[in-house]
């Protein structure tokens, strides 16, 4: 079935507010990978300042509102997101 | 520099910091796994806090302690304020606030290194200095975020949008509940409650093997500093000078205050090191969220890549030499 | 509660559990890195198993041991059976089977905490109680999976599909080869083979620093419990009551059995704690795969967020007070 | 060249049977990231109950059969998958 | 806005030269997940020989040159990449 | 095999290696978290290197040491050369070069196991043998990469492209700055500088708990070997025979050299084990990048899944029995 996947790269410190935002949209699933280096070529892994990758899969219908909110969030706090449409299993 | 100081510099943990610097500069792929590095920092905070709490439970509240903590609080409010005014002349207000918070706060690992140094010199100090560390951590963050908020509201009045404003309550909450900070507080309290019997059971973990774990942490810090200093672009000499001169000024200020308050040599030395140190774990983590407009590579880079190695390699032995002269 | 009990509660590791609860409730971003937490659980299982094996190698097979292990086996079969019948009245058979497995099995960390408690009280116990722990781990899982399979085949007869059926052999294999379970078994065996000389070499690792590592594990558990209990939705009082009342009932049952079998105070106490404890590491990992129809947030949430803290904070001291009275 | 990428979020405990399933389809490559939190908003990181992210890249031709098998697997054990088509390097 | 995402699976030992290559293309963001198992069904996690996943997000305009370089790199050293187009936030 | 040898095999750490093999073969989901395993390998390298450096600082440069290191260097150049010529008859030049590098270099964990074995036997040896380990690590890699480069240029002459050529400077840099290798060197140097006073402070970390950490590392190795040996496809008996026969031949060669040079029993034994061992951490990491044309499952698989367990389980006790006879 039709689904959308949103991948977000942000600073580790932003994971809690970001997942609170995600939870409000009730996506089918997401996972958080913490402790990474790389974002914006400024990313630095340190006990205090690493980056995170969040992968979200949701119904295409709900992706528009999620992306609007993400846009505001990421422009405010920094970070990058990428969305694609595709085929989902168990995404409803 | 006399023999005992030379021997102090050949401490294995400090040499592993040098080695990390070297490995980073020759672009070795040596790295301490991320989660191990994070755990090592939690371990060090826990053991600082816990041991501080235990000493506190032994000495109780003394006049010496009240004086030391008062001096710490004064430093915690004055340093970020003057640093901000200095920085504001050259930088946008967000970067100025973030860097002021970094230098107004303290570095727990610099503190641990200074404690190990004192112990090798056989100079005693009060366990309550861990409380000073805790007290000096937050005020700078809170002041910086308040300043950033003021700047944001002004730009709203001037026609901007208020979107970016972070409520003070939220930031106080962030600063207080930040993991590293809270762990330090919690361990202090638990150390205070459980006292010497608790410490006996924990000693092999928090004392016997501490040096070995610190060694790996400093190795990781050396690697990070090398990597960071390659990327650091300070745009002119102002910030480079700031990252060395302000710690020295803070050290002088703290030493004067310690003398005026009549603190002992050990306490005065640790207060000086705390004032001279800049945060690179707790503050960057909070500020990245609270002042996202600021450039992390500046506040984090200066603190980690310039001030931290300066204090570890030159500052600590120098402050000690000078203070021993003054107190001697 | 007398002084020695109070002192037992101010054990640093337990206080770090409280602290983790607090940090979780104020939504601190404090967290123990994932892989560290996993390693801590492997470490604790290894050291339980190894020490159990070494004691076994010292005592050999005794009558006391045979009695204690027989009592353990009885509990391991009776508890999941009655729990399933109780749960079946209110829940679908899959959730009932999964929760029955959880409460029929045991928690290794609750056991370690109880052992540390006994040691602080100066009460001796048999090293073979680690064998009891191993014996009580699996029967509940196997019974639950068999029950779930029966339910699935019935629904096939009733017109469903047999797709979901998990072969008994496969589940036995899963339960036996589950990492945590196998490590416990393997360490027990290796401890038995290498005996005291092997233990001497390992002691600094498995005994001296254990308290410190347990402290971090319990801190993580506190954080997890706080996070879990925010999410836990039990739909009415039945499951909340179950998560407290069943452990108490199991404790009473185990105490009665221990008395009937004439076990010593230490062994009786540990048997009681094992019966009262619910699994939140081994069983959820196996059941998630073997009974995927069951709701993980129920079986895992009840066990971790209700029963585990109940046992750690209230259960252990209470069971001890009562047993000391009865055995006194 | 034309390739398909399938991303799967499941419980950690399911990684072994899942990779056995994947191996039967001989995809060009996959990697497994374990110890995550998040799936289905039920995900909980604990020593016993974390989530995993599996990223698979395969030839588009083989993706249909893989997705059919995945569908059965995920509906049986829980978890979510997402597939997109795109351009691959060394995927043959 | 229009963006491209490139996902790369390689041996851990190749991460440093790979990120040096990426840096030359100045993508909007990337993150590196190390210590994985799985690539090419040969992947083996060991202290000396694990795999890595690198996720890159960049402007679609710059993706062609990046992919050409990646192709040469991966054909030389081994490893697989996958690119998709989609919608990006803060990718410019 | 006499009693003391039997007891040596029931060392807990070795038994955990067996246990890991077993768990891997029954397809248990037991696993040591990735980053922990990596940290354990860094820890072991650091403690080998550091202790070696400290002994060196005690003994200074002696004739015995000069002899042992000369023997080590001879082995380090001869073994990869003859191994390559042997392999070239059956394999393409890239696989031949990669496997020659693996067997020409050494395994640090096999060395640690041999050191622990010697200590249990009460046989002394020179701390400079850690220097021999370091010296024997790199020549094989460099030779192999040079060979691969020669092959590549020939194929260019024959009409291929030069794309694949890796500059010698780059490879020397890679081999020298590889994290594991550099850490060993750096720790050796720091151990040498800080000497006994530094060691006293680090001892609880690098000596007391080493056995426990080694145990988890060997458990992980057992799991890896089991997993690897399932995948290993050697296409005919040649490579399987190679992976056992070449280590034995190297052991014989090293023993002869040690006898000729008049080394003591302990040093001769460690030299023999080093020669017989094959690298599975440092070399594969460098070769994967430097000779990407080679099949990692061959060079890594043979070294880890065949030669490593052979040396740990049979080689070490056998070499010791033979050498004790010869030196007796
Ligand atoms: N490592 C990082 N993690 C998260 N956000 C970052 C990072 N580095 C920079 N940013 C933010 O990303 C945005 C754009 O960064 P840049 O394009 O590099 O200037 C800014 O708002 C930064 O605050
Ligand atoms: N954390 C998780 N990891 C894997 N599967 C899960 C998880 N949580 C729930 N599931 C499964 O996902 C499916 C749908 O979950 P939900 O939509 O949240 O009810 C169910 O079959 C659950 O067993
Ligand atoms: N685990 C791995 N990580 C990175 N590259 C690999 C891995 N395994 C194989 N390769 C490379 O991937 C390419 C194709 O592998 P294969 O299709 O499995 O033969 C070869 O050039 C190998 O060197
Ligand atoms: Na300061
Ligand atoms: Na139970
Ligand atoms: Na060798």
C62-73: average pLDDT: 95
The string of pLDDT tens digits covering residues C124-136 is 999 899 999 989 9
The pLDDT, as a whole number, for residue D25 is: 93
On chain B, the residues whose CB falls within 8 A of the CB of F50 are 12
The string of pLDDT tens digits covering residues F252-298 is 999 999 999 999 999 999 999 999 999 988 888 888 888 888 888 89
- Region of poorest pLDDT, from A43-52, C312-321, E1-10: A43-52
F137-143: average pLDDT: 88
- Does residue A70 lie in a domain region? yes
Q: Which ligand has the shortest distance to the CA of D57?
A: 3
Residue C177 to residue C168: CA distance in whole angstroms:
14
Inform me whether the pLDDT recorded for B161 exceeds 50.
Answer: no
| pLDDT class of B160 with cuts at 50, 70, 90 | very low
Question: Considering only residues 38 to 67 of chain D, which have any Cβ-Cβ distance to chain C shorter than 8 Å?
Answer: 42, 44-50
**DSSP reduced 3-state for F208:** helix
Beta bridge partners of A5: A57, A84
- Does residue A90 lie in a domain region? no
F155-180: average pLDDT: 68
| pLDDT class of B123 with cuts at 50, 70, 90 | very high
Inform me whether the pLDDT recorded for E2 exceeds 70.
Answer: yes
**d(CA D20, ligand 3 centre) in Å:** 19
The pLDDT, as a whole number, for residue B162 is: 45
Inform me whether the pLDDT recorded for F318 exceeds 50.
Answer: yes
Residue B153 to residue B141: CA distance in whole angstroms:
19
The pLDDT, as a whole number, for residue C267 is: 97
**d(CA F292, ligand 3 centre) in Å:** 8
On chain E, the residues whose CB falls within 8 A of the CB of D88 are 80-83
For chain C, the average pLDDT equals 90
Ligand 1, atom 1: nearest CA belongs to which residue? A43
- Closest residue, chain D, to C223 (C-alpha): D46
- Does residue A26 lie in a domain region? yes
Inform me whether the pLDDT recorded for C46 exceeds 90.
Answer: yes
Measured CA angle at B52 (ends B47, B54), to 5 deg: 95
On chain C, the residues whose CB falls within 8 A of the CB of B202 are 12, 211-212, 215
Q: How many CA atoms lie within 13 A of F316 on its CB side?
A: 26
| pLDDT class of B7 with cuts at 50, 70, 90 | low
Residue C228 forms contact with D (CB below 8 Å): yes
The string of pLDDT tens digits covering residues A64-76 is 999 999 999 999 8
Residue D41 to residue A30: CA distance in whole angstroms:
7
Inform me whether the pLDDT recorded for A43 exceeds 90.
Answer: no
Inform me whether the pLDDT recorded for C179 exceeds 60.
Answer: yes
Percentage of residues in chain D having pLDDT higher than 70: 91
Residue D16 forms contact with F (CB below 8 Å): yes
**DSSP reduced 3-state for E15:** helix
Inform me whether the pLDDT recorded for D43 exceeds 70.
Answer: no
C298-307: average pLDDT: 93
The pLDDT, as a whole number, for residue F14 is: 92
| pLDDT class of B94 with cuts at 50, 70, 90 | very high
Q: Which chains does chain A touch, 3 or more C-beta pairs < 8 A?
A: B, C, D, E
The pocket around ligand 1, CB under 6 angstroms, is made up of A 10-11, 39-40, 42-43, 51, 78-79; B 292, 296
Inform me whether the pLDDT recorded for C6 exceeds 60.
Answer: no
F105-124: average pLDDT: 94
Contact C41, D47 (CB under 8 A): yes
Domain boundaries, chain F: 3-327
Q: Which chains does chain F touch, 3 or more C-beta pairs < 8 A?
A: B, C, D, E
The pLDDT, as a whole number, for residue C290 is: 84
The pLDDT, as a whole number, for residue D41 is: 59
Report residue E43 as tokens. 């992947």
DSSP symbol at E69: H
Indicate the pTM of the whole model: 0.91
Residue of D86, D88, D91 to mutate, interface with E, max E Cβ within 10 Å = D86
Inform me whether the pLDDT recorded for A81 exceeds 70.
Answer: yes
B128 vs C234, which has greater pLDDT? Answer: B128
**d(CA F296, ligand 3 centre) in Å:** 8
- Does residue E91 lie in a domain region? no
Report residue B307 as tokens. 């001030």
- Does residue A25 lie in a domain region? yes
C67-77: average pLDDT: 96
The pLDDT, as a whole number, for residue F158 is: 56
The domain tally of chain D equals: 1
D15-27: average pLDDT: 90
For chain F, the average pLDDT equals 90
Q: Three-state secondary structure along chain B?
A: CCHHHHHHHCCHHHHHHHHHHHHHHCCCCCCCCHHHHHHHHHHHHHHHHHHHHHHHHHHCCCHHHHHHHHHHHHHHHHHHHHHHHHHHCCCCHHHHHHHHHHHHCCCHHHHHHHHHHHHHHCCCCCCCHHHHHHHHHHHHHHHHHHHHHHHHHHHHHCCCCCCCCCCHHHHHHHHHHCHHHHHHHHHHHHHHHHHHHHHHHHHHHHHHCHHHHHHHHHHHHHHHHHHHHHHCCCCCHHHHHHHHHHHHHHHHHHHHHHHHHCCCHHHHHHHHHHHHCCCCCHHHHHHHHHCCCCCHHHHHHHHHHHHHHHHHHHHHHHHHHHHHHHHC
The string of pLDDT tens digits covering residues C201-248 is 999 999 999 999 999 999 999 999 998 887 787 888 999 999 999 999
Residue A12 forms contact with E (CB below 8 Å): no
The pLDDT, as a whole number, for residue A12 is: 84
The pocket around ligand 3, CB under 6 angstroms, is made up of E 10-11, 39-40, 42-43, 51, 78-79; F 292, 296
Q: Where are the beta strands (DSSP E) in D1-92?
A: 2-11, 29-36, 51-59, 80-89
Residue B273 to residue B267: CA distance in whole angstroms:
10
- Closest residue, chain B, to E32 (C-alpha): B34
The pLDDT, as a whole number, for residue C166 is: 62
The pLDDT, as a whole number, for residue F123 is: 95
Residue F220 to residue E54: CA distance in whole angstroms:
26
- Does residue E90 lie in a domain region? no
Q: Which ligand has the shortest distance to the CA of D27?
A: 3
| pLDDT class of C313 with cuts at 50, 70, 90 | very high
Q: How far is F326 from chain B (nearest CA, A)?
A: 40
Highest mean pLDDT of the ranges C108-122, C149-163, C225-239: C108-122
Inform me whether the pLDDT recorded for C44 exceeds 90.
Answer: yes
CATH classification at residue D80: 3.30.70.120
- Does residue D10 lie in a domain region? yes
- Region of poorest pLDDT, from B117-126, C1-10, F136-145, F262-271: C1-10
List phi, psi (to 5°) of C66.
Answer: -60, -40
Inform me whether the pLDDT recorded for B308 exceeds 60.
Answer: yes
In CATH, the number for domain F3-327 is 1.20.1530.20
Task: Write out the residue range of the structural domain in which residue E33 sits.
Answer: 3-85
The pLDDT, as a whole number, for residue E42 is: 56
Which residues, other chains included, contact F270 with Cβ-Cβ below 8 Å and sequence gap of 6+? F111, F114, F115, F118, F125, F129, F132
The string of pLDDT tens digits covering residues B10-27 is 789 999 999 999 999 998
- Does residue D72 lie in a domain region? yes
Those residues of chain C whose CB sits closer than 8 Å to some CB in chain F are 34-36, 38-39, 42-43, 46, 50, 173, 176-180, 182-183, 186, 189-191, 193-194, 197-198, 201-202, 204-206, 208-209, 285
Of A17, A36, A49, the CB nearest to B296: A49
The pLDDT, as a whole number, for residue C126 is: 92
Of ligand 1's atoms, which has the minimum distance to the CA of residue A10? 4
Of ligand 2's atoms, which has the minimum distance to the CA of residue C295? 23
The pLDDT, as a whole number, for residue F162 is: 46
Percentage of residues in chain E having pLDDT higher than 70: 91
User: Greatest CA span in chain C, whole angstroms?
Assistant: 63
Residue of F23, F24, F28, F29 to mutate, interface with D, max D Cβ within 10 Å = F29
**d(CA C319, ligand 5 centre) in Å:** 14
Query: Given an 8 Å threshold on Cβ–Cβ distance, is A46 in contact with B163?
Result: no
CA distances from C80 to A24, C84, C136, C147, C148 (A): 38, 6, 11, 11, 13
The pLDDT, as a whole number, for residue F157 is: 57
């Amino acid at each position: 079935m039709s689904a959308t996947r949103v991948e977000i790269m942000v600073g580790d410190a932003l994971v809690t507010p970001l997942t609170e935002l995600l939870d409000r949209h009730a996506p089918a699933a997401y996972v958080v990978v913490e402790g990474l280096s790389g974002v914006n070529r400024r990313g630095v892994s340190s006990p205090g300042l690493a980056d995170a990758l969040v992968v979200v899969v949701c119904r295409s219908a709900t992706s528009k509102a999620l992306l609007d909110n993400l846009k505001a969030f990421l422009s405010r706090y920094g970070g990058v997101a990428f969305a694609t449409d595709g085929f989902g299993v168990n995404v409803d | 520099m006399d023999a005992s100081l030379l021997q102090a510099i050949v401490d294995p943990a400090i040499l592993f910091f040098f080695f990390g610097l070297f490995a980073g500069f020759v672009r070795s792929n040596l790295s301490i796994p991320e989660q191990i590095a994070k755990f090592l920092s939690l371990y060090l905070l826990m053991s600082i806090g816990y041991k501080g709490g235990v000493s506190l439970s032994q000495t109780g509240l003394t006049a010496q302690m009240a004086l030391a903590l008062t001096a710490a609080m004064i430093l915690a409010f004055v340093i970020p304020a003057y640093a901000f005014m200095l920085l504001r002349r050259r930088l946008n207000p967000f970067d100025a606030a973030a860097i002021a918070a970094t230098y107004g706060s303290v570095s727990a690992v610099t503190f641990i290194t200074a404690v190990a140094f004192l112990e090798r010199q056989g100079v005693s100090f009060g366990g309550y200095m861990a409380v000073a560390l805790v007290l000096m951590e937050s005020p700078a963050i809170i002041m910086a975020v308040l300043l950033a908020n003021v700047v944001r509201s002004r730009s709203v009045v001037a026609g901007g949008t208020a979107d970016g404003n972070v409520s003070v309550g939220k930031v106080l909450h962030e600063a207080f509940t930040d993991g590293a900070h809270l762990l330090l507080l919690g361990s202090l309290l638990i150390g205070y409650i459980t006292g010497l019997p608790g410490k006996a059971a924990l000693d092999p973990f928090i004392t016997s093997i501490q040096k070995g774990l610190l060694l790996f942490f400093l190795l990781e810090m050396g690697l990070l500093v090398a990597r960071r200093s390659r990327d650091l672009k300070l745009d002119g000499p102002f910030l480079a000078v700031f990252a060395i001169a302000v710690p020295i000024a803070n050290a002088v200020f703290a030493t004067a205050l310690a003398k005026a308050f009549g603190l002992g040599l050990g306490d005065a030395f640790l207060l000086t090191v705390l004032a001279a140190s800049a945060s690179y774990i707790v503050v960057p983590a909070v500020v990245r969220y609270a002042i996202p407009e600021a450039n992390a590579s500046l506040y984090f880079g200066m603190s980690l890549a310039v001030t931290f190695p300066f204090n570890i390699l030159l500052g600590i032995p120098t402050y000690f030499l000078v203070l021993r002269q003054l107190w001697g």
